[in-house]
Copies of this chain bind each other. A is one copy, B any other.
Amino acid sequence: MVKLDNVTEGVLDVINDNKFSQTGAFNLRENGTSICHGDSEHIKIKKKTDKPGIDIYIDGKTDGEAVYIPVVLSKSGMTDLVYNDFYVEDGADVRIVAGCGIHNSGCNESRHDGIHTFHVGKNANVRYEEKHYGEGNGTGARVLNPVTNIFVGENSVFTLDTAQIKGVDSTVRETNVELGKDAKLYVTERLMTDGEQKAESNIEVQLNGEDSSAQIVSRSVGKGNSVQTFHPNAIGNSKCQAHIQCDSIIMDHAEVGSIPEIRAKNIDAAIIHEAAIGRINDEQLLKLRTLGLTEEEAEEVIIQNFLN
């Protein structure tokens, strides 16, 4: 077992909920290199030979297993670009826990760009969890620009659970999904920005297969002078159903923009979206304050409740 330093341990605890251990199928990338990895009976991880990153092969007999592939950047001024490809065979049931944490205690920008591509076969069930987090008292920016490409085969279910907890100065998220026949997509996106942080999230879902469906729920809180823009886009190319919902709480001097796009190209495409931006609920705030909480504590309770 590889000995990890305190900074890496601390970051891993946050992005992987204290669950990361060097057992089963896993790969830990630290400051641009894979420092430890393991395979399991059904999940094999191979280092790419043509570019940075790994190929993860999940066989059809995988049944509820989890694979951890966290990334930690603790060197200030580093730019890390990685390509991870996931090959999920027909019938597999898998949970993939990614996540990236940047600890920047220097004055230079630390940046991680993860390009993740999922090739999902038929009748599979994939849950992909990803937490983004920044920390460190340096003045250097913590930047995360993930690109996620997802191809979902016939009758498969793909669940994308993505959260940007805090401390990320700048992010541009690009998520592209193509759904086959009877394929289902569930996206839950949670995002919090503060200070001078900027966040942009673009999600494009092509509902290509008959009876495919997509549900996107995005919840965000903008504090300080931060700026957020959401642009989920559902395109119905066949008989399909999609529902997009974006809700944001705006605080302080933050700016939040929401541009959900829906496009029906087939008479049997049924697409709905809803979005709302508003301030924190004053009645809830008052109620919690009468229970003895300070204004800050009451706000924190409401925000965590809203995001979870």
Give the shortest distance, in Å, between A228 (CB) and chain B (any CB): 10
**Per-residue interface assignment for chain A, residues 266 to 281, with 1 indicating a CB less than 8 Å from any chain B CB and 0 otherwise:** 1111111111111100
Which one, B236, B262, B264, B277, contacts A271 given CB within 8 A? B277
Q: How many copies does the complex hold?
A: 2
Binding site of A, secondary structure by majority: helix, strand, loop or mixed? strand
Give me 16 other A-B pairs in contact (C-beta within 8 A), A258-B261, A260-B275, A269-B277 excluded. Answer: A248-B264, A251-B267, A252-B267, A256-B263, A256-B264, A259-B261, A259-B262, A264-B277, A264-B278, A269-B278, A270-B277, A271-B276, A272-B275, A272-B276, A272-B277, A273-B275
Q: Is A258's CB under 8 angstroms from B250's CB?
A: no
Question: Can you sample 14 A-B contacts with CB below 8 Å?
Answer: A252-B267, A255-B264, A257-B263, A258-B261, A258-B262, A260-B273, A260-B275, A264-B277, A267-B279, A269-B278, A270-B276, A270-B277, A270-B278, A272-B277
Contacts of A268 in B (CB 8 A): 279
**Known interface pairs A272-B275, A273-B274; A257-B261 also in contact (CB < 8 Å):** yes
* A119 in the interface (beta carbon within 8 A): no
Contacts of A262 in B (CB 8 A): 257-259, 275, 277
* A253 in the interface (beta carbon within 8 A): yes
* Chain B residue at minimum C-beta to C-beta distance from A243: B276
**Per-residue interface assignment for chain A, residues 63 to 91, with 1 indicating a CB less than 8 Å from any chain B CB and 0 otherwise:** 00000000000000000000000000000
Q: Is B273's CB under 8 angstroms from A265's CB?
A: no
Q: Is B265's CB under 8 angstroms from A255's CB?
A: yes
Contacts of A274 in B (CB 8 A): 272-275
CA distance A274 to B278 in the complex (A): 15
Contacts of A259 in B (CB 8 A): 259-262
Contacts of A250 in B (CB 8 A): 264, 266-267, 269
Contacts of A272 in B (CB 8 A): 274-277
Most buried by B among A248, A259, A263, A264: A264
Contacts of A270 in B (CB 8 A): 276-279
Give the shortest distance, in Å, between A211 (CB) and chain B (any CB): 15
Give the shortest distance, in Å, between A251 (CB) and chain B (any CB): 6
CA distance A256 to B263 in the complex (A): 6
Contacts of A264 in B (CB 8 A): 248, 250, 255-257, 277-278
